[in-house]
């Protein structure tokens, strides 16, 4: 098993609670991680129709066979099982008895909160972060090759060409699962919506415009986007302001968790094409935002991430309040001093004291005008060192 940053946190949380819920997108490595972290626990996958039916029709009998504990995969297929699991862990609250995995964030989390409140720890596993890619022999070292391939483990572990794997993933999981959740019958319209979302990554999102472009209502676009978020396809970075009311009103930014999936949906078929693509900067911003997000959740932390745009003179791509850092993202390999000076000037106008950081597509990290100039490949080191 290749090392994942979440494993120490997973083991720690399992030492506190009788149940640990681990959610994340399909094919992010949940089953592999749990098998490696808890090799002595038997595994049952509710993806298999016969096991799923058994868990649904005779939940007490199903759990009676697992008194010593178990890993139960894809628990979203039998959410009613969690109510019976509550009885079981109340009878024997030994920590680390049950590890539950699921691919639908909101449905699993709401059931866990309802049935297992106080009895379960909740964690999320996302696709590979940049520093985790180093554990795979096929890991890319070029920025645009890294962004284009994305972070789904099988691409790097097996050496499957990214366009092939991501095409199959989109058809077999993204389109199938999300369409089933929403009961969507028009595949063409939903596919167009997916591509429009990819085209909006790294940008402030306007649901009315997004819906109109896809030929659906703004309310439908909102519902579809919410399910994409619940399925760990993308996430929204809210607008930060000291005024809580304005946080709700201001437009969030949309980011894809996996840059490779976004590239695939945009029809970018090679890393060389990405290098010269008009959305290169937006995709790189999403890559940086997702890297910061992964570093937080893979340590069991809740990300406190925002973006800020007060005016043309005060704009920050990512505010990481846990680190106390305001991040500007530039995909170019060269940063002129004026860029650092502009960020320092923007920081001076913010009501909250934040350190400045520019993450860029170059190779040299240094300080410029009091701002941390961070090469893209050094971003993980900033968080490993606690910055």
Confidence of residue 163 (pLDDT cuts 50, 70, 90): very high
The rounded distance, in Å, linking the Cα atoms of 126 and 137 is: 20
User: Structural domains in the chain?
Assistant: 7-124 (3.40.50.300), 130-281 (1.10.10), 305-384 (no CATH)
Mean pLDDT, to the nearest integer, of 267-277? 96
Q: Which residue has the tokens 């923007």?
A: 346
Q: Which helix (H) or strand (E) holds 373?
A: strand 371-375
Confidence at residue 250, expressed as pLDDT on a 0 to 100 scale: 78
Instruction: Give, in order, the Cα–Cα distances in Å from 11 to each of 33, 44, 295, 304.
Output: 11, 19, 17, 24
Q: pLDDT of 199-238, one tens digit each?
A: 999 999 999 999 999 999 999 999 999 989 988 999 999 9
Going by their DSSP bridges, the two strands 98-102 and 203-204 should be labelled as unpaired
Instruction: Give, in order, the Cα–Cα distances in Å from 102 to each of 34, 133, 232, 262.
Output: 12, 23, 11, 23
Q: Is the pTM of this model over 0.85?
A: yes
The rounded distance, in Å, linking the Cα atoms of 203 and 224 is: 18
**Percent of the residues in the chain that have a pLDDT greater than 70, as a whole number:** 93
Instruction: Give, in order, the Cα–Cα distances in Å from 235 to each of 152, 200, 227, 303, 308.
Output: 17, 12, 10, 12, 16
Within 10 angstroms of residue 377's Cβ, the number of other Cβ atoms is: 17
Residue 99 contacts residue 71 (beta carbons within 8 Å)? yes
Q: pLDDT of 122-159, one tens digit each?
A: 999 999 999 999 887 655 679 999 999 999 999 998 88
Pick the closest to residue 126 from 237, 320, 292 (CA basis).
292
> If DSSP codes are grouped into helix, strand and coil, which group holds residue 29?
coil
The rounded distance, in Å, linking the Cα atoms of 265 and 277 is: 14
The rounded distance, in Å, linking the Cα atoms of 145 and 370 is: 31
Strand partners, 366: 373
Q: pLDDT of 322-370, one tens digit each?
A: 999 999 999 999 998 999 998 988 888 887 889 999 999 999 999 998 8
Q: pLDDT of 55-91, one tens digit each?
A: 999 999 999 999 999 999 999 889 889 999 999 999 9
> Does pLDDT of 14 surpass 70?
yes
| CA R_g for the chain | 21
> Does pLDDT of 386 surpass 60?
no
Q: Which helix (H) or strand (E) holds 145?
A: helix 143-149
Q: pLDDT of 245-256, one tens digit each?
A: 554 447 899 999
Residue 14 contacts residue 89 (beta carbons within 8 Å)? no
Alpha helices in 231-279 (DSSP H): 244-249, 259-265, 271-275
Higher pLDDT: 311 or 8? It is: 8
């Amino acid at each position: 098993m290749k090392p994942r940053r979440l494993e120490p946190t997973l083991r720690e949380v399992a030492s506190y609670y009788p149940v640990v819920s681990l959610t994340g997108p399909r094919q992010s490595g949940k089953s592999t991680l749990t098998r490696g972290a808890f090799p002595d626990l038997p595994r049952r996958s509710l993806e298999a129709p016969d096991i799923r039916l058994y868990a649904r029709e005779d939940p007490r009998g199903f759990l009676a066979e697992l008194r010593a504990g178990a890993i139960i995969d894809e628990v979203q297929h039998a959410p009613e099982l969690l109510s019976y699991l509550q009885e079981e862990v109340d009878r024997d609250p030994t920590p680390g008895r049950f590890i539950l995995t699921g691919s639908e964030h909101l449905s699993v989390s709401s059931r866990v909160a309802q049935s297992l409140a106080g009895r379960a720890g909740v964690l999320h596993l996302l696709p590979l972060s940049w520093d985790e890619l180093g554990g795979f022999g096929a890991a890319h070292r070029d920025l645009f090759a890294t962004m284009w391939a994305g972070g789904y483990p099988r691409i790097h572990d097996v050496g499957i060409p990214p366009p092939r794997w991501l095409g199959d993933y989109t058809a077999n999981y993204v389109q199938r699962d999300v369409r089933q959740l929403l009961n969507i019958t028009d595949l063409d319209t939903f596919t167009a919506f997916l591509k429009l979302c990819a085209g909006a990554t790294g940008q402030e999102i306007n649901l009315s415009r997004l819906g109109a472009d896809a030929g659906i209502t703004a309310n439908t676009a909102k519902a579809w986007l919410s399910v994409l978020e619940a399925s760990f396809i993308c996430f929204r970075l809210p607008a930060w302001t000291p005024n809580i009311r304005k946080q709700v009103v201001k437009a969030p930014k949309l980011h894809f968790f996996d840059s490779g999936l976004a590239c695939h949906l945009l029809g970018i078929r090679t890393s060389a094409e990405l290098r010269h693509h008009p959305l290169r900067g937006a995709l790189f911003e999403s890559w940086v935002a997702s890297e910061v997000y992964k570093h937080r959740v893979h340590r069991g932390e809740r990300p406190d991430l925002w973006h800020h745009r007060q005016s043309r003179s005060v704009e920050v791509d990512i505010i990481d309040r846990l680190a106390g850092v305001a991040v500007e993202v530039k995909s170019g390999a060269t940063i002129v001093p004026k860029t650092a000076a502009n960020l320092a000037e923007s920081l001076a106008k913010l009501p909250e004291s934040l350190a400045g950081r520019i993450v860029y597509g170059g190779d040299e990290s240094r300080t410029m005008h009091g701002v941390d100039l961070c090469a893209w490949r050094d971003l993980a080191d900033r968080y490993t060192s606690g910055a």
